[in-house]
Amino acid sequence: MSSRTLKIALAASVALNLFAVAAGATLLINRERVESQAEAQQTPGRTRSPMGLVGRLSPEVQPAVRQTLRSAALSARPDFEEARGKRREALALARSPEFDSARLTALLDQSRAAELRGRRHLEVEAVTLLSELTPADRVILAEILARKRGGGAMGERPAPAN
C-alpha cells in the first residue's frame, strides 16, 4: 500500500470511530431519558385532569359527572379567588416599606382558610359524586382525590415540604 492509501484509510477509520462514539453517546443519553420518563410515569399522584378522567368513564354517566365536576369547580371558585387575592395582598405588604407582621400573618391565615374552604367543598362534592358511581367508574374517578404537586384542575396546591 502506498502512503497516500494508508492516510486515506486512517482518516476513514478515525471518522468511522468518531461516528461510532457519537452514536453510542446518543444511545446512552436517549436510554437515560426514556428511563426517567418511565420512572416519572410510575410516581403516585394524579396524572390526569378530572375532565380527562371523565372520558374513561362509562358513556352513560359522562355527561352527569362532567356537569357535577364543572358546577363544583364553579361554586368553589370564589373561595380560591379570595385565597389568591389575600395571598397577593400579603405579597404586596411584604414588599412594601410599611411592613406589618401582624397584618401579614392575618392575610396569610385568611388566604389559607379560603383555600381550605374551597378544597373542602370540592372534596365533599367528589365524595358525593363517587358514591353515585359504579365500582368500576369509582376506581377511575377516585384519582381526583390524589393531590398533585403544583395544583390541579380542581384548584388544590399543597404546601411545600420542609
pLDDT at position 43 is 53
Instruction: State whether 57 and 128 are in the same domain.
Output: yes
Instruction: State whether 34 and 55 are in the same domain.
Output: no
pLDDT at position 156 is 43
Count of structural domains within the chain: 2
Instruction: State whether 3 and 62 are in the same domain.
Output: no
The string of pLDDT tens digits covering residues 49-76 is 777 888 888 889 889 989 999 999 999 9
Instruction: State whether 70 and 24 are in the same domain.
Output: no
Query: Is 45 a residue whose pLDDT tops 80?
Result: no
The string of pLDDT tens digits covering residues 122-161 is 999 999 999 999 998 888 888 888 865 444 444 444 444 4
Please count the residues of the chain.
Answer: 162
Domain that holds residue 20: 1-43
pTM above 0.85, yes or no: no
Query: Is 120 a residue whose pLDDT tops 90?
Result: yes
Instruction: State whether 85 and 127 are in the same domain.
Output: yes
